[in-house]
Every structure is written in structure tokens, then in C-alpha cells.
């Protein structure tokens, strides 16, 4: 005989009001632990789960069983995709592939197209990266681009953040959409197609177009970049070490140890968009087949 999991029966008899209060307490606990107490996010989420369960009147054994079922089910369905996406993002950062994408797009964009270029960069780089990692990766890029083009920082910063936010919330293989797809038993390919249909106009409206308004309210220019100030005298490298230094350093980003040269623009973009293209092909085949 197969055992029946205790999650088959309700874990609590709490009413809607108590459940809402429990959810708010759990969220507040996670935020305070991560931002104030500087706990690791996983520990913060774990403790927040316990607080929410206790506030909802769930027994300790039920809290553990519910956490195991939810966490195990989520990781079993999307964990591999999340891990692979994190690996792709790390590879791009360490090999300088991200720099190749940024330098190619920004180098070919006119001042008027610069906000659109930054939105495109954020959309491309945001596909395999968690939102927080994407922000850390793009903030120096935004500062450098704003400094070298003498553009208001909001003109390039707003499109970059919009690109990351829209991709993070609407387009798989980001973790958020993947978890929603798993919990709702939705079709991955159709979600990707409809996500892109919504994401593109949202990115245009909340990115380059909104930046035109925000830059008038906050006309701030970048004068000094701590640690990356262009006014600092560059150290000249002569002899056989010159080529090696040029290959190892790109746009202020030093390549990881053991990496002799960074990938080309085409190779870096292909590495990012290939999973999305394969999912789109699968969705088209399933729809027309």
C-alpha cells in the first residue's frame, strides 16, 4: 500500500484574515532578516516560512512537510533550468562575453538610439541571469556609458532596469515565470510566446519612452565613477605583455584565470538566446502540429 501524505488534508483551520496576516508576517520576516540582519536569503526564506506557518496555526510537523513538498516539487521541475541559467551567466561574466555584447551594441548606437541600445543589452543579458546579478553586472556599464557619452544617467539607466525587470517577470527561462508555469501546469512554449507579446511593448513604454520623461525630472550626469574614473592615468604596458594585458582586460572587467580571450559578439548572443529559440521552435511545432 502506498502511504498518504499528510498534505492531502488541510494543514490549518485558519480563516482568510489570519492567513493574510500570516503571509504579511512571513514576508516582513524575510525582508528584515535579509536587509537588516544580513542573513543569507535561503535562511531568511526558511525562517520566514516557519513564522508564516506558526502564525497560520500550522503544527511544526505540518510546516516541515509543506516546506519539503513545495521546495522539492519546485526544484524538481525548474531547479535544473535555474542552475543551467546561472552557469551560462557565470560563463559570460568570467569570459568577457557580456562585455563583448555591451561594447558592440553601444559602439554602433547613435546618441538618439542609446536608450534603445541599453534596453536591448539588458534584455539580452537578462535572459540567463537572476535580476540581482543582472543589476550588479549592468550598473558599472550604465555608469561608464553615461560618462563616456555625457548622457543623463536616467537616459541609459531606466531602459536597462526596465529590460531586466520585464524579462525577469514575464519571460522564461527566468526562475519566476518557470515557477509560475510549474505551479499552474501551464505550457512553457505558449507562456514564452505570450510573455514576449506582452514584454516587448512593456519594455518600450517603461524603458526608452519613460526615460525621456524621467531624465527631465532628474537631469543627473555622471562626473566621477569610484574605482573606474576615466581621468586616472592609464598604466602603459609595453613588450610581450601588452597583447596579453589587452586580451585579459575588457572595459574594466578582468577575465577569469585561465581564459586567454573573450568570445565574439555572435557567440555570446547565441549562448544566451539558444534556449529561448529552442523553446519557441517547440511551441510553434506543438501549435501547428
* pLDDT of the residue at 207: 92
* pLDDT of the residue at 233: 43
What does the angle CA 117 – CA 204 – CA 189 come to, to the nearest 5 degrees? 100
| pLDDT, tens digit (0-9, with 9 covering 90-100), for 52-87 | 989 988 888 888 888 888 777 766 666 666 676 667
Predicted TM-score (pTM) of the model is 0.58
* pLDDT of the residue at 227: 52
Residue 133 has pLDDT above 80, yes or no: no
* pLDDT of the residue at 209: 93
Q: Tell me if the bond preceding 173 is cis, omega within 30° of 0.
A: yes
* pLDDT of the residue at 85: 66
Amino acid at each position: 500500500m502506498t502511504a498518504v501524505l499528510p498534505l492531502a488534508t488541510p494543514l490549518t483551520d485558519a480563516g482568510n484574515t489570519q492567513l493574510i496576516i500570516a503571509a504579511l508576517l512571513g514576508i516582513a520576516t524575510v525582508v528584515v532578516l535579509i536587509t537588516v540582519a544580513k542573513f543569507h536569503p535561503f535562511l531568511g526564506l526558511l525562517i520566514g516560512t516557519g513564522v508564516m506557518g506558526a502564525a497560520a496555526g500550522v503544527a511544526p510537523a505540518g510546516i516541515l512537510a509543506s516546506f519539503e513538498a513545495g521546495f522539492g516539487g519546485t526544484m524538481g521541475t525548474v531547479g535544473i533550468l535555474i542552475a543551467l541559467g546561472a552557469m551560462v551567466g557565470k560563463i559570460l561574466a568570467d569570459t568577457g562575453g557580456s562585455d563583448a555584447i555591451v561594447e558592440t551594441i553601444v559602439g554602433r548606437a547613435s546618441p538618439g538610439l542609446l536608450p534603445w541600445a541599453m534596453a536591448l543589452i539588458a534584455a539580452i543579458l537578462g535572459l540567463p541571469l537572476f535580476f540581482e546579478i543582472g543589476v550588479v553586472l549592468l550598473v558599472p556599464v550604465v555608469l561608464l556609458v553615461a560618462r563616456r557619452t555625457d548622457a543623463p544617467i536616467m537616459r541609459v539607466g531606466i531602459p536597462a532596469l526596465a529590460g531586466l525587470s520585464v524579462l525577469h517577470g514575464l519571460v522564461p527561462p527566468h526562475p519566476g515565470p518557470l515557477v509560475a508555469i510549474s505551479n499552474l501546469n501551464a505550457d512553457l512554449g505558449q507562456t514564452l510566446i505570450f510573455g514576449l507579446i506582452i514584454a516587448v511593448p512593456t519594455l518600450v513604454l517603461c524603458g526608452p519612452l519613460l526615460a525621456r520623461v524621467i531624465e527631465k525630472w532628474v537631469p543627473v550626469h555622471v562626473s566621477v565613477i569610484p574605482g573606474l574614473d576615466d581621468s586616472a592615468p592609464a598604466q602603459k604596458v609595453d613588450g610581450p605583455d601588452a597583447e596579453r594585458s589587452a586580451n585579459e582586460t575588457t572595459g574594466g572587467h578582468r577575465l577569469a584565470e585561465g581564459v586567454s580571450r573573450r568570445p565574439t559578439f555572435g557567440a555570446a548572443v547565441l549562448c544566451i538566446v539558444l534556449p529561448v529559440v529552442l523553446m519557441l521552435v517547440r511551441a510553434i511545432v506543438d501549435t501547428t502540429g
